[in-house]
Amino acid sequence: MPDLLIEIETEELPPAVVGPAAEALVRGVREALEEARIRTGPATGLATPRRLVAHVADAADRGASLTARRRGPPASVAFDAGGRPTKAGRGFARAQGVDPAALERMETEKGIYAAVTVTEEGRELAAVLAEKLESILGSIPFPKKMRWPGSDIPFARPIRRVVVLHGEAVVPLSAAGCRADRMCRGHPFLAPEPFPLASADLHAYRGELEARRVVVDFEERRRRIREAIVRGGGGEPSGGPEAALLDEVANLAEWPVVIEGRLDERFLELPPEVLETALRVHLRFFPVRGAGGTLEPRFFSVMDRDPESADLVREGNERVLASRLADARFFFEEDRKKRLADRLPELAEKELHEGLGSYRDKAERLERLAGWLAEAAGWPGEAAAARRAALLAKADLVTEMVGEFPELEGTMGRIYAERDGELPEVAAAVEDHYRPRGPGDALPRGRVGVLVSLAEKLDNLAGFFLAAGPPSGAADPHGLRRQALGLIRVVQGGGVRIDLGAALREAAREVGAPDPERLGGRVREFVGERLYHACLEEGYRLDLVRAVLAPGFDDLLSFRARLEAVTEASGKPWWPDLVTLVERAANILRGADAGDVVDPDLVEEPAERTLHEALLRHGPDIEDLVRRGEYVAAAERLVTELSAAVHRFFAEVFVNVEDPARRANRLALLRRVDDLFGRSVADLSTIGRNRDGGG
DSSP assignment string, 126-165: HHHHHHHHHHHHHTS--SS-EEPTT--SEESS-EEEEEEE
Is the per-residue pLDDT at 689 higher than 50? Answer: no
CA–CA separation, 185 and 157 (whole Å): 17
Q: Span 119-139, mean pLDDT?
A: 93
Instruction: Tell me 172's DSSP state.
Output: -
Q: Span 245-252, mean pLDDT?
A: 95
CA–CA separation, 397 and 403 (whole Å): 7
Return the SS3 of 599.
Answer: coil
What is the sign of the dihedral through the CA atoms of 281, 285, 290 and 296? negative
| CB-facing half-sphere around the CA of 532: CA atoms within 13 A | 14
pLDDT digits (tens, 9 = 90+) for 274-287: 999 999 999 999 99
Give the bridge partners for 114, in sequence order.
Answer: 105
pLDDT digits (tens, 9 = 90+) for 218-243: 999 999 999 999 998 888 876 677 88
Look at residues 277, 278, 295, 231 and name the one whose alpha carbon lies nearest to residue 257.
Answer: 231
pLDDT digits (tens, 9 = 90+) for 305-319: 888 889 999 999 999
pLDDT for 693 = 38
Is the per-residue pLDDT at 442 higher than 60? Answer: yes
Structural contact between residues 454 and 503, judged by C-beta atoms closer than 8 angstroms? yes
Q: Span 659-686, mean pLDDT?
A: 87
Return the SS3 of 286.
Answer: strand
pLDDT digits (tens, 9 = 90+) for 606-629: 988 999 999 999 999 999 999 999
pLDDT digits (tens, 9 = 90+) for 47-59: 999 999 999 999 9
C-alpha separations of 608 from 98, 641, 668 in Å: 72, 15, 11
pLDDT for 238 = 67
pLDDT digits (tens, 9 = 90+) for 507-529: 999 999 999 999 999 999 999 99
pLDDT digits (tens, 9 = 90+) for 415-432: 999 999 999 999 999 999
CA–CA separation, 158 and 161 (whole Å): 10
Q: Span 117-127, mean pLDDT?
A: 89
pLDDT for 324 = 95
Q: Span 572-577, mean pLDDT?
A: 92
This prediction has a pTM of: 0.82
Average pLDDT, the chain: 92
pLDDT for 694 = 38
- Which domains, from first to last, does the chain contain? 4-62+124-211 (3.30.70), 66-120 (no CATH), 218-335 (no CATH), 354-539 (no CATH), 561-690 (1.10.730.10)
Which residues are CB-neighbours of 413 under 8 A, at least 6 positions away? Answer: 340, 392, 393, 394, 395, 396, 430, 431
Of the ranges 2-11, 82-91, 439-448, which is most confident? 2-11
pLDDT tier at 120, thresholds 50, 70, 90:
confident
Return the amino acid letter for 369: L
Is the per-residue pLDDT at 370 higher than 50? Answer: yes
CA–CA separation, 187 and 180 (whole Å): 20
Look at residues 421, 420, 479, 417 and name the one whose alpha carbon lies nearest to residue 432.
Answer: 417
Percentage with pLDDT > 90 across the chain: 76
- Strands (DSSP E) contained in 304-417 are 351-353, 357-358
- Strands (DSSP E) contained in 344-398 are 351-353, 357-358
Instruction: Tell me 281's DSSP state.
Output: I
CA–CA separation, 449 and 389 (whole Å): 8
Instruction: Tell me 122's DSSP state.
Output: P
Which of 263-272, 478-487, 513-522, 678-687 shows the lowest per-residue confidence on average (mean pLDDT)? 678-687
Percentage with pLDDT > 70 across the chain: 98
